[in-house]
């Protein structure tokens, strides 16, 4: 059990820093939702920051897998090697000088291959992997001398310190392979850095390693070693959006080789992955070259109930790890009882109307679920203190507000626990977060997300940062849509809970660029729906506002909601003059052609 004196059950820890024990104890199995990740084959795992991609990869490493499956290394169905890209020198300014030159592909591939080799051999240089296992030193020694060295010597004439003696252990051999790979990696970076002091490009005369003639044959031979998993080797490549465009093209070229029977590339990225072209100018395509999984699409589409179950399991595991047992998530994050009782009273009135034949919905509880909470919020809007009285407490609401992203639940929960601990007058373990604390933190986080976070991006200043004008337009658009959704909630329309927009005409290039920027930064989620009034079929983009923002306009974040078909000109107006737009809509009403279409129940 973890010491509770100065810790928090919702502490966010980088998966790389977790031990195998901690990883297994905290991980909730999501692979029934993402089966392709654990099956052989190249996969792009796409999702915003905090969606749990790195945690999945950490869990697939051999130390965690052996512990979770209670087996030795050779019994595993695959060998997973975690290759993080975020904290690397891949975006070195000197390397960017080589962009768009033919030699850039070659040097960048060498840097990537040797970095991958360092991570692979570091993973294998762990003594705990070989406890009770059938891996023999002699077999690993043969692998080093008969496979690794011959392939290595094809790239370099430097034979210094490559020999190993019979006393070297398995760990020693893999550690030596890592050091050799590190030296190959460093040589290339030293060359790249030297370019900073010259106007002309110097010739590179160092070793060059590529995927097909260096990395792939080494990994293929490694998988045949006695005592190692007989299945594929999975390269768990994390944060691939940090790659430059040239490096992304190199990685895509590896994907296009379709070598997944022996080596499967599992690539995680956010929505700003630089390119899906290869170094030859071809594209990689799904499903021929790879499979694609969008976490946000899965958890904000028809599997929201699965997402709630995942969050529930995460909370239970974290509480149990800190000695807080037999406390259900709904009890740890209780609702505001007085508020919920009032909403249930409104629900009972709608059910009574249905029983009298006055209902609008098809089923007895449709109107109650659709209107009771918006009616309560609307009633709060007419009170003296306004709708700020609405409480966002309760596990169910917190799940909805996290908008399908695990970290958006865990981070506020961490702040809530810390605040509850600071207000506690004893050293007892916190077993319940008061509704007032939940709501205060949620409102503060919503304001930080819209205002502070966007301001930080606006001040970023680096060459890849979005233009300041685009950030301003995005901020205006969010303000305009939030206000529009608020007016819809307070209206007399048949469907008042709206979080999404779709276009009844064609969006302009500028509008698409700003919406895509919002998607990259996590303020919108993109999906698709059937086109409005389309006899010939087809689909159009649906843009869903992140529900973390709901408290800013006191919107209802829970389940049943609709989407609003609107025209491009309204979005353009919102991007430039949101206040004027909202004043006009408040006076004249929402345009009749802005049709609200209902989504299905949660």
Mean pLDDT of the chain: 85
Percent of the chain at pLDDT exceeding 70: 88
All residues at 6 or more sequence positions from 26 whose CB lies less than 8 Å from its CB, including other chains: 18, 55, 314, 317, 318, 321
In tens, the pLDDT along 153-183 reads: 888 766 566 888 877 899 999 999 999 999 9
Closest CA to 96 of 238, 192, 187, 208: 192
What does the pLDDT average to over 126-150? 88
What does the pLDDT average to over 368-396? 81
Tell me if 80 sits within 8 A of 43, measured CB to CB.
no
What does the pLDDT average to over 333-343? 95
What does the pLDDT average to over 195-219? 83
In tens, the pLDDT along 536-558 reads: 567 778 899 999 999 999 999 88
* Cα(582)–Cα(573) distance, integer angstroms: 10
Above 50 in pLDDT, residue 95?
Answer: yes
The string of DSSP letters for 438-502 reads HHHHHHHHHHIIIIIHHHHHHT--STTSPPHHHHHHHHHHHHHHHHHHHHHHTS--S---EEEEE
* Cα(265)–Cα(251) distance, integer angstroms: 9
Highest mean pLDDT among 77-81, 103-107, 297-301, 499-503: 77-81
568's tokens: 């491009």
What does the pLDDT average to over 90-97? 61
Percent of the chain at pLDDT exceeding 90: 48
Predicted local confidence at residue 196, as pLDDT: 67
What is the b/e burial string over 315-333, where b = at least 16 CB atoms within 10 angstroms of the residue's CB? bbebbbbbebeebebeebb
For residues 101 and 152, the model is more confident at 152
All residues at 6 or more sequence positions from 481 whose CB lies less than 8 Å from its CB, including other chains: 501, 545, 574
What does the pLDDT average to over 119-126? 94
Tell me if 192 sits within 8 A of 108, measured CB to CB.
no
The DSSP H or E segment spanning 293 is: strand 291-294
For residues 227 and 159, the model is more confident at 227
Helix, strand, coil percentages (3-state) for the chain, rounded to 5, are 50, 10, 40
Closest CA to 263 of 1, 519, 79: 79
Model confidence at 59, in pLDDT bands (50, 70, 90)? very high
CA distances from 411 to 6, 25, 407, 556 (A): 17, 19, 6, 21
* Cα(339)–Cα(347) distance, integer angstroms: 12
* Cα(152)–Cα(122) distance, integer angstroms: 17
What does the pLDDT average to over 489-516? 88
Predicted local confidence at residue 4, as pLDDT: 42
Q: Rounded to 5 degrees, what angle do the CA atoms 555, 561, 563 make?
A: 100
For residues 374 and 413, the model is more confident at 413
Task: Give 206: exposed, middle or buried? Use CB within 10 Å, 0-12, 13-18, 19+.
Answer: middle
In tens, the pLDDT along 462-495 reads: 666 788 899 999 999 999 999 999 998 888 877 7
Closest CA to 574 of 591, 550, 560, 561: 591
Predicted local confidence at residue 460, as pLDDT: 61
In tens, the pLDDT along 269-317 reads: 988 899 999 998 999 988 888 999 888 776 655 545 688 899 999 999 9
Give the bridge partners for 565, in sequence order: 502
Q: Which residue has 């997402």 as its token pair?
A: 307
pTM, two decimal places = 0.86
């Amino acid at each position: 059990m973890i010491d509770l004196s100065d810790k928090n059950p919702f502490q966010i820890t980088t998966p790389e820093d977790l031990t195998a024990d901690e990883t297994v104890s905290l991980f909730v199995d999501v692979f029934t939702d993402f089966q392709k990740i654990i099956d052989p084959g190249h996969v792009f795992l796409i999702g915003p920051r905090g969606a749990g991609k790195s945690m999945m990869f950490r869990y697939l490493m051999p130390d965690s897998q052996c512990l979770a499956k209670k087996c030795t290394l050779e019994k595993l169905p695959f060998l997973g090697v975690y290759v993080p890209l975020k904290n690397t020198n891949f975006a070195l300014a000197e390397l960017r000088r080589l962009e768009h030159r033919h030699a850039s592909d070659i040097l960048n591939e060498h840097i990537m291959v040797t970095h991958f080799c360092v991570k692979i051999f570091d993973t294998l240089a762990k003594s705990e992997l070989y406890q009770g296992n059938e891996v023999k030193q002699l077999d690993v020694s043969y692998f080093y001398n008969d496979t690794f060295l011959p392939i290595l010597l094809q790239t370099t004439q430097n034979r210094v310190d490559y020999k190993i003696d019979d006393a070297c252990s398995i760990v020693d051999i893999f550690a030596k392979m890592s050091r050799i790979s590190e030296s190959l990696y460093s040589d290339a970076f030293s060359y790249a850095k030297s370019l900073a002091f010259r106007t002309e490009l110097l010739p590179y005369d160092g070793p060059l390693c590529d995927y097909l003639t260096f990395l792939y044959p080494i990994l293929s031979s490694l998988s045949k070693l006695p005592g190692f998993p007989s299945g594929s080797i999975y390269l768990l490549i994390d944060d691939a959006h940090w790659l430059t465009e040239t490096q992304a093209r190199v990685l895509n070229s590896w994907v296009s080789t379709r070598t997944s029977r022996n080596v499967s590339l599992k690539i995680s990225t956010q929505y700003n992955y630089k390119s899906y072209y290869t170094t030859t100018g071809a594209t990689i395509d799904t499903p021929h070259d790879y499979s694609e999984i969008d976490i946000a699409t899965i958890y904000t589409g028809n599997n929201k109930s699965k997402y709630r179950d995942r969050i529930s399991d995460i909370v239970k595991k974290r509480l149990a790890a800190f000695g807080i047992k037999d406390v259900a998530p709904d009890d740890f994050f209780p609702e505001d009882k007085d508020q919920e009782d009032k909403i249930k009273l409104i629900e009972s009135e709608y059910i009574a109307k249905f029983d009298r034949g006055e209902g609008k919905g098809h089923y007895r509880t449709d109107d109650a679920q659709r209107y009771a909470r918006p009616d309560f919020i609307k009633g709060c809007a007419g009170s003296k203190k306004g709708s700020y009285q609405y409480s966002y407490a309760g596990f169910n609401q917190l799940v909805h507000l996290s908008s399908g992203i695990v970290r958006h639940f865990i981070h506020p929960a961490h702040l809530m626990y810390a605040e509850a601990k600071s207000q506690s007058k004893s050293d007892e373990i916190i077993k319940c977060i008061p509704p007032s604390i939940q709501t205060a933190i949620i409102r503060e986080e919503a304001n930080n997300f819209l205002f502070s976070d966007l301001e930080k991006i606006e001040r970023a200043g680096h060459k890849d940062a979005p233009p300041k004008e685009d950030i301003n337009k995005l901020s205006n658009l969010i303000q305009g849509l939030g206000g529009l959704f608020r007016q819809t909630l307070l209206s007399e329309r048949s469907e008042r809970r709206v979080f999404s927009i779709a276009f009844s005409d064609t969006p302009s290039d500028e509008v698409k660029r700003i919406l895509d920027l919002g998607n990259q930064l996590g303020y919108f989620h993109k999906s698709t729906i059937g086109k409005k009034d389309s006899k010939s079929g087809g689909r159009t983009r649906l843009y869903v506002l992140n529900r973390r923002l709901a408290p800013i306009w006191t919107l209802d974040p829970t389940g049943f909601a609709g989407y609003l078909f609107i025209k491009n000109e309204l979005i353009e107006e919102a991007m430039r003059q949101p206040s004027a737009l909202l004043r006009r809509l408040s006076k004249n009403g929402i345009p009749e052609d802005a049709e609200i279409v209902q989504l299905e129940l949660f």
